[in-house]
């Protein structure tokens, strides 16, 4: 694409704004891209053409940020350098900002590869200008219906937007994702044989009851979570046999161990949804020729990003912070909380309904909070916070959580004090906020964390102590 005077004006304006923001001590992940795109709407595509080793796109409902960061760690372990929107700014402005940051004032790319997390609704705009070499698609679940619309619409937009020459890395266990590989030459699947929590039945809300091709109901022989599992339809559509298949899956408080023949791997992350994130990153790494040894090291050294099962050591004891944003993700977090069978439980749940969270909070009624209602003896208290604290408390009441164990505190700092009130330091304490509460809560935890406290397991691994 020919570089015009508009290109240079946009490039220099974007980089100038970025430099000013850095001098002011601000991150500036989206503003430089926003200003530059106003000057030259085609700038993202113009910048992307300089990445001669290819661009890897990561999209899907859940796990985009963790998958991208896991793959980034593997790429680093292999000695590769790349552009990356690590902060999770996954709209067009943030992506352009990341590319600007890795472009010199003379228009030359500082690196040859880019790894970009892309919001599902942004994929069509992104692929209008950029042809990714590899596209990782993690999963599809209902999320912020007021913004995305119905799930079928989102899936069609993503499927139709990805260029035919792009190599697909697909979750074989999600029938909504696996369908992307039909009639596509360049496709590589990943999946899970079985987890300790896999069942032959499911009571969860599922997004894919019916075959995406003929409309008949899918038959499952095994459910992992949500609609992820081993499925088939009489029309012939079935779960593909994934070349990258996780076997011998084991989980503990220290993380997850698994084998992809013939190699064993471990990640210092909890929740089987994070196993899928690791498999997605691993499959992409294998696709570009990274050896198992570097993949092992990258996964082993990975430290979770902000609010993704992130641990803090406070004077009252350890707490875990993790984002919640839709029914399936919330269900998996609840299962992770309940997996610590020997410990009593305290939760702080923060629900906002601002634009970034999704205005419609009816999705809370699709979360299986009844699992918490069935653990009355272990549940010590649940503090509900945020703008919709009362709605959260009502949902928990109807799920069977005793009202005597429910507390309301709109302000997050006070809610943190409330969840620790009367604690003996032996409880599992999880803080579960939606988007707009995540970083304010994290800032509170960082300020309260014991200075010089013992690092989390993930940090120990990074330092070679684990």
Active site residue: 360, 366, 368, 391, which one?
Answer: 360
Query: Does the annotation flag 235 for ligand binding?
Result: yes
Contact assessment for residue 332 and residue 225, using Cβ atoms and an 8 Å cutoff: yes
Residue 424, phi then psi, degrees to nearest 5? -100, 0
Contact assessment for residue 396 and residue 384, using Cβ atoms and an 8 Å cutoff: yes
Residue 171, phi then psi, degrees to nearest 5? -80, 105
Buried b (16+ CB within 10 A) or exposed e, 288-304: bebeeebbbebbbbbbb
Contact assessment for residue 52 and residue 84, using Cβ atoms and an 8 Å cutoff: no
Query: Does the annotation flag 384 for ligand binding?
Result: no
3-state secondary structure 68-136: HHHHHHHHHHCCCCCEECCCCCCCHHHHHHHHHHCECCCCCECCCEEEEECCHHHHHHHHHHCCCCEEE
- Separation between Cα atoms, residue 426 and residue 93, nearest integer Å: 44
- Bridge partners of 246, per DSSP, are 192
Tell which residue, 276, 261, 277, has the closest CA to residue 195: 276
- Assign residue 184 a region: left if phi > 0, alpha if psi is -120 to 50, beta otherwise? beta
Pairing of strands 406-408, 428-433: unpaired
Structure token digits, residue 120: 């599902």
Tell which residue, 216, 131, 241, 135, has the closest CA to residue 180: 135
Query: Does the annotation flag 211 for ligand binding?
Result: yes
Is 183 a residue of the active site?
no
Q: Which 8-state DSSP code applies to residue 385?
A: E
Q: Which residues are annotated as a binding site for Zn(2+)?
A: 211, 214, 233, 235
Active-site residue set: 360
């Amino acid at each position: 694409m020919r570089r015009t005077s508009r290109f240079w004006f946009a490039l220099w304006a974007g980089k100038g704004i970025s430099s000013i923001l850095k001098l002011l001590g601000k991150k500036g992940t989206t503003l430089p891209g926003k200003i530059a795109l106003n000057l030259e709407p085609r700038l993202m595509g113009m910048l992307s053409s300089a990445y001669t080793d290819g661009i890897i796109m990561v999209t899907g409902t859940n796990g985009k940020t963790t998958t991208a960061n896991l793959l980034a760690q593997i790429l680093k372990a292999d000695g590769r350098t790349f552009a990356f929107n690590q902060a999770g700014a996954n709209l067009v402005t943030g992506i352009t900002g990341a590319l600007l940051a890795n472009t010199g004032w003379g228009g030359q790319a500082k690196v040859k590869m880019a790894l970009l997390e892309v919001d599902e609704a942004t994929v069509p705009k992104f692929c209008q200008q950029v042809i990714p070499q590899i596209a990782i698609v993690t999963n599809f679940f209902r999320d912020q219906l007021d913004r995305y619309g119905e799930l079928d619409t989102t899936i069609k937009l993503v499927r139709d937007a990805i260029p035919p020459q792009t190599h697909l890395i697909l979750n074989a266990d999600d029938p909504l994702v696996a369908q992307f590989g039909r009639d596509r030459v360049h496709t590589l699947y990943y999946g899970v044989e079985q987890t300790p929590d896999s069942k032959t039945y499911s009571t969860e809300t599922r997004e894919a009851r019916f075959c995406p091709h003929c409309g008949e109901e899918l038959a499952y022989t095994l459910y992992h979570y949500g609609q992820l599992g081993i499925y088939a339809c009489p029309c012939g559509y079935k779960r593909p046999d994934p070349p990258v298949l996780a076997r011998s899956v084991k989980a503990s408080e220290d993380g997850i161990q698994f084998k992809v023949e013939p190699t064993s791997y471990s990640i210092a992350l909890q929740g089987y949804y994070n196993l899928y994130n690791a498999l997605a990153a691993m499959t992409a790494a294998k696709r570009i020729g990274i050896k198992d040894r570097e993949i092992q090291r990258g996964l082993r050294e990975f430290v979770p990003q902000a609010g993704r099962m992130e641990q803090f050591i406070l004077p009252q004891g350890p707490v875990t912070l993790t984002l919640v944003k839709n029914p399936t993700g919330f269900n998996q977090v609840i299962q992770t909380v309940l997996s610590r069978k020997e410990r009593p439980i305290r939760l702080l749940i923060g629900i906002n309904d601002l634009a970034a969270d999704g205005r419609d909070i009816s999705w809370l009624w699709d979360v299986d909070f009844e699992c918490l209602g069935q653990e009355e003896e272990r549940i010590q208290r649940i503090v509900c916070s945020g703008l919709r604290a009362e709605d959260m408390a009502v949902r928990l009441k109807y799920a069977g959580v005793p009202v005597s164990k429910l507390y309301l505190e709109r302000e997050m700092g006070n809610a943190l004090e409330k969840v620790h009130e009367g604690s003996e330091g032996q409880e599992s304490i999880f803080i579960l906020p939606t988007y707009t509460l995540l970083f304010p809560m994290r800032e509170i935890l960082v300020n309260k964390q014991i200075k010089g406290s013992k690092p989390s397991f993930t940090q120990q691994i990074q330092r070679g102590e684990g």
